[in-house]
């Protein structure tokens, strides 16, 4: 079964850093654009960042630019999200999501999510 498994979430103090990972299995990871999406407790979905299949093209949500870095290692079938200067309102479940082949422009596979809590 095609699968994405996130890890790296946890409790961090405001101003701290965290690196999230997403391990992909049973599909050709290097052939797909990948994304991070977050969901604050009881709230809706917010797209965070995307990275192209080869890692060349990267985009971030305007509100998060400068504090986040998305990256990938195709040899390790892994996606990453480095988060710095974390704020209380970054508290959310962070999902990694595979982007379906163009022109679909939709997320066809999601991980189960990893919880990030920013609190003093």
Partner 1 sequence: EIVLTQSPGTLSLSPGERATLSCRVSQSVSSRSLAWYRQKPGQAPRLLIYGASSRAAGIPDRFSGSGSGTDFTLTISRLEPEDFAVYFCQQFGGSSFTFGPGTKVDIK
User: What does the binding site for partner 1 look like in residue numbers (CB under 8 A)?
Assistant: 35, 37, 44-47, 50, 59, 61-62, 95, 100, 103-108, 110-113
Burial annotation 16-36 (CB, 10 A radius, 16+ → b, else e): eebebbbbbeeeebeebbbbb
Q: Do 84 and 12 form a contact (C-beta atoms < 8 A)?
A: no
CB of 75 to partner 1, least distance (A): 26
CB of 6 to partner 1, least distance (A): 10
Residues facing residue 50 across a β-bridge? 35, 59
CB of 14 to partner 1, least distance (A): 26
Indicate the residue among 48 and 86 with the shorter CB distance to partner 1.
48
């Amino acid at each position: 079964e095609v699968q994405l498994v996130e890890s790296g979430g946890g409790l961090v103090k405001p101003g701290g850093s965290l690196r999230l990972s997403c391990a992909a299995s049973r599909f050709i990871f290097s052939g797909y654009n990948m994304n991070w999406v977050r969901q604050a407790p009881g709230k809706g979905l917010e797209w965070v960042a995307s990275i192209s299949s080869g890692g060349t093209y990267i985009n971030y949500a305007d509100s998060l630019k400068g504090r986040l870095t998305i990256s990938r290692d195709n040899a390790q079938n892994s996606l990453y999200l480095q988060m710095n200067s974390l704020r209380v309102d970054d508290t959310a479940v962070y999902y990694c999501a595979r982007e379906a082949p163009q022109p679909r422009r939709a997320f066809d596979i999601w991980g189960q999510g990893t919880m990030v809590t920013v609190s003093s």
